[in-house]
Amino acid sequence: MSDQQAPEQHGVVADGAGDVAAHSQAVGARFWVATAVGWIVIAIGLRGIVQHRIDTRPGELARFVIGGALIHDLILAPLVLLVGLAVARLVGGRLRTPVQVGAVISATVALFAYPVVRAFGLATNNPTSLPHDYATNLAIVLVAVWLAVGVSVIVTRIRRT
Amino acid sequence: MTDVPAGPPVTGRLASRLGSRLDGHVPKRLAGPVDWALSWTTDPDGPLRQGRYRSPLRDERVAAVLGATLGLLFSICFVTGLWSHLQQHPQAWLSIPSRPAGLYRVSQGIHVVSGIASVPVLLAKLWTVWPRFVAFPPFRTAAQLVERIGLLPLVGGGIFMVFSGVANIDQWYPWHFSFTASHFWMAWVTMGALVAHVGAKWVITRRTLTRPSRRPVFADADPVLGASAEADAPAADGPAADAPAADLEPEGALEPVGATSSRSGLSRRGFLLTVAGASGVLTVVTVGQTLGPLRPLALLAPRDPAIGPQGYPVNRGAANAGVLDLAASPDYRLVIEGGAVPVSLTLADLLAFDAHDARLPIACVEGWSYSARWSGVRLRDLLALAGAPPGADVRIESLEPAGAYRTSTLNSGQAGDRDTLLATHLDGQPLDPDHGFPCRLIAPNRPGVLQTKWVNRVVVT
């Protein structure tokens, strides 16, 4: 199955016929070969999970895998959508882009840092476990991110004038 | 935030996000709950259909760049993870070399760095394609059904791999399964799903990445869902700034942060740079746990390579391992079994050997590492003393009464390396109990969990 599709077709969709043809081309040998190979590899993983079920606890593992996807799709993603809407509604003009940049980076860093800020993994009898004040450190990182965003806004405005 | 511009009215801007006719349709849709529920799908007549997601960031080009990046990062994680697995589960067909001494430190550092860097990329990728999850109907052909089934191992697996990996470096285990076994076998599931996904998206991705950037054409990405959306697009009379033509951003024209474009908000390139920025920030605030010069910036790393007993961190201290009394006991003996001559040494005997110095790293699987000067007796000297046959493998055992890592094995190459020591000193000082007093194994190119501490038995196998 060829990859050589007509690139000039993109951009204008006059009717659906061309796309159906393009799609049927895309869903060719490569698709089914990759699907077969991929599912063989998936099967290796599933077999390993079942063979080592004392360690992997397939039931609980499945809950985490499916639950992770559901939490993302049904809670996190809509939440981000709403925040995006709020930013679009509350912030306009020249500030919207820097606010979006700052918000995306801040939210990601905060999500990543949440377990250490809450000290979920703190070990007893081990002073090297989570040695920092992570709430303060997270605040420092976020301030640095927004300072960088602010500086870039100012630099951009100076350049324009 | 006070700078509210004289742009389109609020309703217009709202509509530009979810589709301009949302306000016109919702009251009608509320008539019946089934209709209303269906309206929240990508049914061609519903407000959440593909064409409604008007953000230019939900673009096949953005999805392709993020997908390719994620594929690369996951592949790096898979290869380095496999290497780590082979270290911890030695195979007969592969004799792990003892050199280069810092190899595992580098490979595991790359594993953790790549995993952390993939967090923002994964989130951005999922955000970009999220409308597809609520597509309706979910499939129309056998191929689409197969592809859709493959999304569960792909999305669920990807999220699990990243979440469990980050939780593990934080030593946070909100589950009862074994992290190592589950992370390893789920990696196969995830990579298999990735292979299938790459096959399904190969044509589109390659085409997208090799042609000049242009406005997204949903029909290209998904003919079934996209065709109706595209065909309908001109009829959607949103604010002028939202019209398709306004979204034609020239490829080279990167908007600096803070700039306005024909439409307010992030450009596609700006979005990709933001994701890269988020990955960069996460890397900078953690990589110092293994990269010395950046240590002061490692604000969010769960370990500091310069904080701990004798100035170095540990994962498992002597108290938690339950060896404090055993290690301090005058009855302590180091026993070497399996050779021609049984050997039993007191700590004083051990200290009477010619001390050998080696500068070697401790590289934890969790991504932190440090290099230090270790002193002690060469393992190969002890093996010679015990009359061990050349080429024998060796098992090292700990005083630790229980624990998954109370023993480790060395192949003959590792056991015979000139720097493989049963170390009694760290940076010239006797080992702290947390570092493995009376003696610990330290060998080149080896995961930290296999640098067995509180050693009391060496078994020639």
CB nearest B127 (choices: A80, A105, A145): A80
Gap between the Cα atoms of B274 and B194, Å rounded:
24
CB contact under 8 A, B178 and A55: yes
Secondary structure in 3-state letters for A53-75: HHHHCHHHHHHHHHHHHHHHHHH
For residue B396, give the H/E element and its range.
strand B394-398
Distance of residue B285 Cα from the nearest chain A Cα, in angstroms: 8
Number of continuous H segments (helices) and E segments (strands) in chain A: 7, 0
How confident is residue B38, by pLDDT bands cut at 50, 70 and 90?
Answer: low
Gap between the Cα atoms of B209 and B204, Å rounded:
8
Is the previous residue joined to B137 through a cis bond, with omega within 30 degrees of 0? yes
Query: Residues of B with CB below 8 A from A46's CB?
Result: 185, 189
CB contact under 8 A, A44 and B192: yes
Chain B, residues 254-313, CB within 8 A of chain A, namely 255-260, 264-267, 270, 274-275, 277-278, 281-282, 285, 299-300, 302-304, 307-309, 312-313
Distance of residue B22 Cα from the nearest chain A Cα, in angstroms: 14
Q: Hey, of B2, B195, B283, B370, which one would you mutate to test binding to chain A, going by the most A CBs within 10 A of its CB?
A: B195
pTM over cut 0.90: no
How confident is residue B397, by pLDDT bands cut at 50, 70 and 90?
Answer: very high
| pLDDT over threshold 90, residue B445 | yes
In 3D, which of B69, B40, B43, B78 has the Cα closest to residue B128?
Answer: B69
**What ipTM was reported for this prediction?**
0.86
CA atoms within 13 A on the CB side of B124: 35
CB nearest B156 (choices: A69, A104, A121): A69
Tell me the three state secondary structure of residue B420: coil
Q: Lowest mean pLDDT of A92-96, B249-253, B382-386, name the range.
A: B249-253
Q: Hey, of A3, A9, A13, A40, which one would you mutate to test binding to chain B, going by the most B CBs within 10 A of its CB?
A: A13
Q: What is the DSSP letter of B387?
A: T
| pLDDT over threshold 50, residue B34 | yes
In 3D, which of B179, B214, B202 has the Cα closest to residue B71?
Answer: B202
CB contact under 8 A, A108 and B197: no
In 3D, which of B439, B387, B388 has the Cα closest to residue B412?
Answer: B388
Is the previous residue joined to B447 through a cis bond, with omega within 30 degrees of 0? no
B72, B79, A42, B59 alpha-carbon torsion, rounded to 10°: -10
Divide the 161 residues of chain A into consecutive groups of 10 and give the mean pLDDT of each group: 37 36 62 96 98 97 96 92 87 88 96 97 91 97 97 91 79
Token pair 């790096």: residue: B76
For residue B374, give the H/E element and its range.
strand B369-378
| Chain segment A21-36, per-residue pLDDT in tens | 445 455 688 999 999 9
Residues B112 and B169 sit within 8 Å (Cβ to Cβ): yes
Q: Hey, of A1, A9, A15, A19, which one would you mutate to test binding to chain B, going by the most B CBs within 10 A of its CB?
A: A19
Q: Lowest mean pLDDT of B54-58, B245-249, B383-387, name the range.
A: B245-249
The answer to whether residue A137 neighbours chain B at the CB level (below 8 Å) is yes
Gap between the Cα atoms of B249 and A43, Å rounded:
44
Tell me the three state secondary structure of residue B392: coil
> pLDDT above 90 covers what percent of chain B?
67
Residues B242 and B233 sit within 8 Å (Cβ to Cβ): no
For residue A89, give the H/E element and its range.
helix A77-90
| pLDDT over threshold 80, residue B25 | no
What pLDDT shows up at residue B390?
Answer: 87
